[in-house]
Every structure is written in C-alpha cells, then in structure tokens.
C-alpha cells in the first residue's frame, strides 16, 4: 500500500512549502518543522508544481545583471524539463529542451564563449599605408647600417621555425 505524503498532511504545510520556495535548505526546514529531509525532498519533487516554485522564486528581488537573469531562466527551464521527464510528457520535454538550448546559446554569446560575429582579416601587404610606412623605415635605416643589420637579425629570430 502506498504511503501518504507526510508533508501534504502536515499542519504547517504552507509554511514548509514557502520555506522550500524561499530557498531554505531542506535540512534546516526539517529541523524547524520536525520532519525528515527525505520527506521534504519527495514532497518537493512529487507534489509541488514546478510553475509554483518558479513563481515563488520570481517574487524575490530580481537579479541585477543580465547574466543572472539568463541563469535564472535556465534554472526555470530546467525545472520544467525535469518535471516533464518525470511525468512522461514528451511534448513538454521537447519544448523545455528547446528553451534550454536557446538560453545556453544566449549565455554563451553573452559570456563570449560563442562568438558569431564576422571575423575580419587585414592583409597588410596589400595596404598602401603599409607600403608608405615600409618605405619610410627603409629610408631611415639606410643612414644607420648597424641598425639595419641588428633589425634584420632580430626579425629573422621572429620567423617560425
């Protein structure tokens, strides 16, 4: 016979759920309400609606930085995915996975891990400005033969071997 949920029948159920939604650790909640952490964990997973947990967290102060808000979106989508997988709801699972993928992509772009900006390469040898600079350098170096030799040897050291 299935055992009934001790938290669902607890006289302070609403306070317990508020503590869970508030982010308090299950161990501290268990001590405060004289219940076992495992009962809290089971209740949280099986009986507390994921959307209610998300809405309760949103009632808190909003994170200041965009990356914090994106990470919160990731956490919310992850809760929905876990619930969809646990209840065998494939359409909701796919929708949550799609959202997770988009949030991960945004986080990657935001943090610089993903860079889809076009890369620009400049060919100095084709630049008229480079040719003018090169010509001026050679003109000045002709007056200092020692500097020309030293510059040549140092530039040769820079070449890959």
For the chain, domain boundaries: 1-48, 49-117, 124-158
Residue 70: pLDDT band (50, 70, 90) is confident
User: What would the two tokens of residue 102 be?
Assistant: 């988009």
Task: Decide: helix, strand or coil at residue 3.
Answer: coil
The mean per-residue pLDDT over the stretch 74-101 comes to: 88
CB 81 within 8 A of CB 96: yes
For the entire predicted model, the pTM comes to 0.38
pLDDT tens digits for 150-161? 888 888 888 876
pLDDT at 50: 62
Q: Is the pLDDT of residue 105 over 60?
A: yes
For range 108-127, the mean pLDDT: 81
Residue range 8-48, pLDDT digits in tens: 889 998 899 889 888 889 899 999 999 998 999 888 887 77
Q: What is the rounded end-to-end Cα distance, in angstroms, of the chain? A: 77
Average pLDDT, the chain: 83
C-alpha to C-alpha distances, 96 to 44, 52, 91, 135, 143, nearest whole angstrom: 20, 16, 9, 62, 71
Hey, what are 126's tokens?
């084709």
What pLDDT sits at residue 1? 45
Cα separation, 105 vs 115, whole angstroms? 10
């Amino acid at each position: 016979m299935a055992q009934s949920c001790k938290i669902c029948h607890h006289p302070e159920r609403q306070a317990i759920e508020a503590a869970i939604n508030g982010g308090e650790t299950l161990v501290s909640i268990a001590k405060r309400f004289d219940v076992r952490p495992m009962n809290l964990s089971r209740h949280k997973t099986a009986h507390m609606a994921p959307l209610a947990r998300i809405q309760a967290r949103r009632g808190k102060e909003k994170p200041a930085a965009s990356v914090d808000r994106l990470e919160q979106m990731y956490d919310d989508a992850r809760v929905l995915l876990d619930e969809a997988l646990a209840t065998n709801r494939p359409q909701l699972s796919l929708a949550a996975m799609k959202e997770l993928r988009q949030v991960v992509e945004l986080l990657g772009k935001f943090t610089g891990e993903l860079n889809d900006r076009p890369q620009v390469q400049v060919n100095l040898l084709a630049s008229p400005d480079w040719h003018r600079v090169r010509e001026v350098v050679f003109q000045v170096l002709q007056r200092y033969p020692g500097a020309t030799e030293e510059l040549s040897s140092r530039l040769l050291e820079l070449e890959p071997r």
